[in-house]
């Protein structure tokens, strides 16, 4: 079940901003907290999963080395979410606007994606107020789409730009560190994997009309396999949000990703071999291996996705934007980028981006994007 018109939209990603909480190494997190969070046979399995996660460093707004939230009730976690997410989102938005050369008052639509916290008034309202957005700025909050939320968020921003001719702003902000689950003696591989991979981040992107330097959004498309809806879950419990992650997820991606990408490219007269930039959400090492295999990509094609996983972990919805930001400021930015992200449904999202002519400097690089503390 795909969607997409096949027609190029008028939006161009003209600015990006990254904000990251303090980082810790995977080894520090294991030795200082998770080694005692798990016990017995579970501990031995957990250590193997942590070592083989593909993650060396992660960020945490609420660092378990300093503060154990695993027994906190959900209400306390949600109050802390608002405290931590607001300044992080403000930093990312500010950097993106500066990078785009726009004022907050020029934004016509503000899209916020987050599945790790809820409050009303939400981040969209509070940030619009604090950043000085206009009273007529429209807002959209995208919740519980999980890791792929950046792409439908980007689609909404691009559609607004095409229809209204005004800039739009997308913010993805996740605080997965707030959802460490209580320690249990029961073997729970899904929770171990979740605790070994996930990280915190906020990334913002400005989409604007006109012939400006940046990546034009060609099309955003999706496919959902509802027969596998139970393979990935994010349940609200009395002690935070609990991840359910079936080991069958890579098999479902393998069944759909090739058709999704080849059909998207065919609508724009392109082939996989003509794509020189890949921003594939690194749900984990197996996910990247499956995408690489099914699309017949050379090992270097997903090097940026793997390096973001290594440096930042899986930050849920901001992760694909972290990868795009890194591609965007490469010595020679790729001319054609395919973004891929996956999440509950099971749902696969893809976006095709084209570097607009004149979108790079004479040396081939795009204007530098705003990078937050800890970015590399």
Distance CA 128, CA 98 (A): 16
Query: What CATH class has 213-355?
Result: alpha beta
For residue 366, pLDDT beyond 60: no
Q: Which residues of 335-357 are buried (b: 16+ CB within 10 A; e: fewer)?
A: bbbbbbbbbbbbbbbbbbbbbbe
Please report the pLDDT score of residue 123 as a whole number: 96
| Residue 75, helix vs strand vs coil | helix
Mean pLDDT across the chain: 91
Tens-place pLDDT, residues 217-257: 999 999 999 999 988 888 899 999 988 888 889 999 999 99
Please report the pLDDT score of residue 144 as a whole number: 87
Share of the chain above pLDDT 90, in %: 82
Distance CA 115, CA 158 (A): 21
pLDDT range class, residue 367, cuts 50, 70, 90: low
The least confident of 16-20, 160-164, 239-243 is 239-243
Q: Which long-range contacts (CB under 8 A, 24 or more apart) does 300-308 make?
A: 302/278, 304/277, 304/278, 304/279, 304/330, 305/278, 305/279, 305/280, 305/281, 306/54, 306/282, 308/282
DSSP code of residue 4: -
- Peptide bond before 346: cis, by omega within 30 degrees of 0? yes
Radius of gyration (Cα) for the chain, nearest Å?
A: 20
Distance CA 137, CA 155 (A): 18
Please report the pLDDT score of residue 9 as a whole number: 53
pLDDT range class, residue 361, cuts 50, 70, 90: very low
The least confident of 113-127, 224-238, 292-306, 349-363 is 349-363
State which fold the 16-208 domain adopts.
Answer: Peroxisomal Thiolase; Chain A, domain 1 (3.40.47)
Please report the pLDDT score of residue 370 as a whole number: 43
What residues are paired with 217 via a beta bridge? Answer: 353
Q: What is the mean pLDDT of residues 75-94?
A: 97
pLDDT range class, residue 362, cuts 50, 70, 90: very low
Distance CA 151, CA 153 (A): 5
For residue 49, pLDDT beyond 90: yes
Please report the pLDDT score of residue 83 as a whole number: 96
Q: CATH 3.40.47.10 in the chain: give the residue spans.
A: 16-208, 213-355
For residue 80, pLDDT beyond 70: yes
Tens-place pLDDT, residues 332-358: 999 999 999 999 989 999 999 999 876
Q: Which of 375, 264, 252, 265 shows the shortest CA–CA distance to 323?
A: 375
Distance CA 356, CA 214 (A): 6
Structure tokens at 82: 């608002």
Please report the pLDDT score of residue 247 as a whole number: 86
Q: What is the mean pLDDT of residues 166-182?
A: 97
Structure tokens at 331: 């010595």
For residue 211, pLDDT beyond 90: no
Q: What is the mean pLDDT of residues 38-42?
A: 86
Please report the pLDDT score of residue 369 as a whole number: 43
Q: Which of 277, 307, 302 shows the shortest CA–CA distance to 292?
A: 302
Q: What is the mean pLDDT of residues 161-166?
A: 96
pLDDT range class, residue 374, cuts 50, 70, 90: very low
For residue 5, pLDDT beyond 60: no
| Residue 144, helix vs strand vs coil | coil
**What is the pTM assigned to this prediction?**
0.92
For residue 180, pLDDT beyond 70: yes
pLDDT range class, residue 104, cuts 50, 70, 90: very high
Q: What is the mean pLDDT of residues 86-104?
A: 98
């Amino acid at each position: 079940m795909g969607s997409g018109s096949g027609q190029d939209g008028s939006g161009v990603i003209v600015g990006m901003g990254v904000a990251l909480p303090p980082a810790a190494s995977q080894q520090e997190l294991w030795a200082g907290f998770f080694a005692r969070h798990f016990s017995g046979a579970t501990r031995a399995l957990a250590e193997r999963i942590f070592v083989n996660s593909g993650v060396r460093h992660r960020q945490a707004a609420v660092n378990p080395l300093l503060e154990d939230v695993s027994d906190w009730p959900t209400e306390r976690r949600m109050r802390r979410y608002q405290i931590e997410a607001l300044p992080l989102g403000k930093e990312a938005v500010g950097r993106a606007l500066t990078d785009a050369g726009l004022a907050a008052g020029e934004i016509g639509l503000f899209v916020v994606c987050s599945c790790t916290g809820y409050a009303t008034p939400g981040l969209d309202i509070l940030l619009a107020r604090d950043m000085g957005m206009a009273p007529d700025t429209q807002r959209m909050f995208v919740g519980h789409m999980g890791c792929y939320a950046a792409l439908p968020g980007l689609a909404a921003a691009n559609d607004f730009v095409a229809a209204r001719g005004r800039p739009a702003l997308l913010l993805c902000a996740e605080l997965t560190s707030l959802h460490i689950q209580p320690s249990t003696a029961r073997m729970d591989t899904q929770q171990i994997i979740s605790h070994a991979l996930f990280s915190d981040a906020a990334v913002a992107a400005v989409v604007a009309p006109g012939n400006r330097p940046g990546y034009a959004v060609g099309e955003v498309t999706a496919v959902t396999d509802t027969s596998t809806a139970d393979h990935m879950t994010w349940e609200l419990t009395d002690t935070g949000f609990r991840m359910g992650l079936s080991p069958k997820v890579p098999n479902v991606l393998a069944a759909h990703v090739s058709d999704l990408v080849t059909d998207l490219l065919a609508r724009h007269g392109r082939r996989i071999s003509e794509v020189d930039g890949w921003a594939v959400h690194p749900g984990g090492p197996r996910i990247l291996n499956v995408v690489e295999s099914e699309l017949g990509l050379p090992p270097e094609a997903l090097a940026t996705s793997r390096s973001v996983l290594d440096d930042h972990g899986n930050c849920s919805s901001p992760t694909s934007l972290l990868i795009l930001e890194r591609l965007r400021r490469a010595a020679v930015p790729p001319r054609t980028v395919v973004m891929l992200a996956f999440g509950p449904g099971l749902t696969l999202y893809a976006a095709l981006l084209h570097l607009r002519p004149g979108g790079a400097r004479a040396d081939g690089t795009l204007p530098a994007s705003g990078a937050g503390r800890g970015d590399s």
